[in-house]
Every structure is written in structure tokens, then in C-alpha cells.
């Protein structure tokens, strides 16, 4: 599996980033371990989680697996922002919540440092200066190696970049946004900002939560439990536009279209990725174009790592 530099940093991450949002929820501990093992055996080193995923259970599963792996060979990413308790300061991007959150994540992950610490969403109640200066302190303390951001709008991201530059604080090195063939708002403002400022991009839901995997077909009813009415109507319109094998379209867009920019690589998530690994073996984690068709079946993109284009 190839590696890429994350943004303009010197950090090399595998082209596939294993997203662990379903660990401890749809994916039990045994299956999670199997996915992590297969991912690393195939050459992957980039694992993404968050404190809010299964209310900390995802981090705990990754942390209980880490002693069976080589920690220094891995890039562990997690996030902070959303509610982790009922207290008034158990949510947000205040200094208090971030400092409490990073200590809790370190404890659950069973490690003394986090490679990539990301703010999960904008917090309109907390001054951005408070958030950024706190993150800068975490990098200086050695508890965090790099910082990133998720789900910011264009103006929010640019303001954060400019404030960090003005104050000499550690900058965000990457953005984790919603991006797929159906959700392409990223291309309007965020993508140009990231290209101009040198941020890597790690898109989430590149197959739109399963919409582009092929399990939903035009003219066929979706499972009653899987979609709300508004989602169902939107899906029908989307599939009507795509019609044939939308999962092929989206995967090729991610792998080939993204590579034209020299920056997009793709990743498997745990749920359908586990089925795919069982059916086809761990060699199908790779991304070489000659074997794309074989890898498409049953594959689910869990998160996509966008870096500055250099590979090895």
C-alpha cells in the first residue's frame, strides 16, 4: 500500500485510512480486531476514530488492540467536540473540555500521545482563539503531534488558519469534510482553501452511507429501516441520475479523479469492509488501478485521506 504526506507535513500516512465509527456499535470487538489486523497486514498505518464514536467504546477497542501492534508505526487520529457527559462543560471546544477530552482519549487509547487530534465541528459559543491556543499547547506538550479540523465551512476554516498564522500557533494540517459524488459542496470553497493553504483532506462518507455501494437500486424499494422518507426521495432522484453501478462511478472518481490532483486516496470502513476482507482476503486493500474492479465488490469507503500528492 502506498503512502502519502499528510498535507504539507513530513508525516506519511497510508492511502487507505481505516475509519472506526462503527466499532462498538455495528461492529463488535472481535470483528474490529480482525479489521485492524487485516488493515495493518496489508500495509495500512492510518486509523481514525473519535471520542464520541460509541461514546468512547471505539477508542477503547482501538486502545485494547494497540498493544498487539507496533504503536510507533501507526498514525492514530481522534477527535473532540461533541457531548461526552451530562455536565455543562462536557461538550464544546472550550479549554476545559479540550484538556479533559484529550486526557480521556489518551486513557481510552492506552497511549501517551495522539498523532492527529481533530476538532470535530465548529463551536459558536467558544472564542476561536481559546480553542486554537489550547490546541497549540497540546502540541507543545507532546501529547498531540498534529492538529486537524472536521466539518468547518470555508470562512470558519480560513479564519482559523489566519488566526494561527497571526499568533504563531500550530496550524491545522488537514480537514475532514463530508465529500462524495452526491455531496460536492467541498469543491466550492473548502477545496480551493485547502489547496491554497496546503491542508490535507480526509473526506468522510465517500459512499454516502451506503447510497453508492450498489445495495440501493433505482426502481427497487429500499429497506424500510434504512431510510427516512426525505432520504428515500433524495436517494431515488440520485439513483435516477446515476442509474448504472453507482459504486463503480464513485470509487473510480475517488481513486482516479482524485489522483489527477495527486492528493486523494481512499479507505475501507469496518462494517462492509469486514465482509469484503472475508470474501476476498487482505490483498484487496490495495489501490492499484489494475485491480480496481475486483476490489469494488462489497467495499465501503470509510474515510479518504487527501495529502499533498507525494507517494512512495
Catalytic residues: 53
Buried b (16+ CB within 10 A) or exposed e, 149-161: bbbbebebbbebb
CA dist 239 to 28, 214, 243, Å? Answer: 31, 10, 5
d(CA 60, CA 107): 9
Q: Left, alpha or beta for 81 (phi > 0: left; psi -120 to 50: alpha)?
A: left
Those residues whose C-beta lies under 8 Å from the C-beta of residue 141, and which sit 6 or more positions away, are none
CA dist 135 to 102, 117, 174, 303, Å? Answer: 10, 9, 14, 23
Strand 3-5 relative to strand 75-80, pairing: unpaired
Strand 12-14 relative to strand 3-5, pairing: antiparallel
Strand 75-80 relative to strand 46-48, pairing: parallel
Q: Left, alpha or beta for 155 (phi > 0: left; psi -120 to 50: alpha)?
A: alpha
d(CA 91, CA 87): 8
User: Among 278, 257, 269, which Cα is nearest to 299's?
Assistant: 269
Amino acid at each position: 500500500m502506498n503512502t502519502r504526506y499528510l498535507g504539507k507535513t513530513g508525516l506519511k500516512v497510508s492511502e487507505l485510512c481505516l475509519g472506526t465509527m462503527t466499532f462498538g456499535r455495528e461492529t463488535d470487538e472481535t470483528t474490529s480486531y480482525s479489521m485492524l489486523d487485516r488493515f495493518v497486514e496489508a500495509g495500512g498505518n492510518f486509523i481514525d476514530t473519535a471520542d464520541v464514536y460509541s461514546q468512547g467504546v471505539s477508542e477503547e477497542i482501538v486502545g485494547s488492540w494497540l498493544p498487539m501492534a507496533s504503536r510507533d508505526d501507526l498514525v492514530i487520529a481522534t477527535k473532540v467536540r461533541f457531548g461526552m457527559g451530562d455536565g455543562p462543560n462536557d461538550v464544546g471546544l472550550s479549554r476545559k473540555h479540550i484538556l479533559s477530552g484529550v486526557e480521556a482519549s489518551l486513557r481510552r487509547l492506552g497511549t501517551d500521545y495522539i498523532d492527529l487530534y481533530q476538532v470535530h465541528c465548529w463551536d459558536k459559543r467558544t472564542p476561536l482563539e481559546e480553542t486554537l491556543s489550547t490546541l497549540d499547547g497540546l502540541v507543545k506538550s507532546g501529547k498531540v503531534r498534529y492538529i486537524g479540523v472536521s466539518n468547518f465551512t470555508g470562512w470558519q476554516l480560513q479564519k482559523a488558519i489566519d488566526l494561527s498564522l497571526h499568533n504563531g500557533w500550530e496550524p491545522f494540517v488537514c480537514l475532514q469534510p463530508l465529500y462524495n459524488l452526491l455531496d460536492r459542496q467541498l469543491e466550492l470553497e473548502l477545496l480551493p482553501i485547502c489547496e491554497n493553504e496546503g491542508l490535507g483532506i480526509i473526506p468522510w462518507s465517500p459512499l454516502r452511507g451506503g447510497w453508492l455501494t450498489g445495495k440501493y437500486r433505482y426502481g427497487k424499494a429500499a429497506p424500510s429501516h434504512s431510510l427516512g422518507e426525505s432520504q428515500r426521495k433524495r436517494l431515488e432522484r440520485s439513483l435516477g441520475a446515476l442509474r448504472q453501478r453507482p459504486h463503480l462511478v464513485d470509487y473510480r472518481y475517488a481513486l482516479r479523479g482524485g489522483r489527477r490532483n495527486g492528493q486523494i486516496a481512499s479507505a475501507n470502513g469496518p462494517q462492509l469492509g469486514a465482509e469484503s476482507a472475508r470474501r476476498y482476503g487482505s490483498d484487496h486493500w490495495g489501490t492499484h488501478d489494475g485491480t480496481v474492479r475486483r476490489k469494488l465488490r462489497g467495499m465501503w469507503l470509510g474515510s479518504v485521506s487527501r495529502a499533498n500528492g507525494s507517494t512512495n
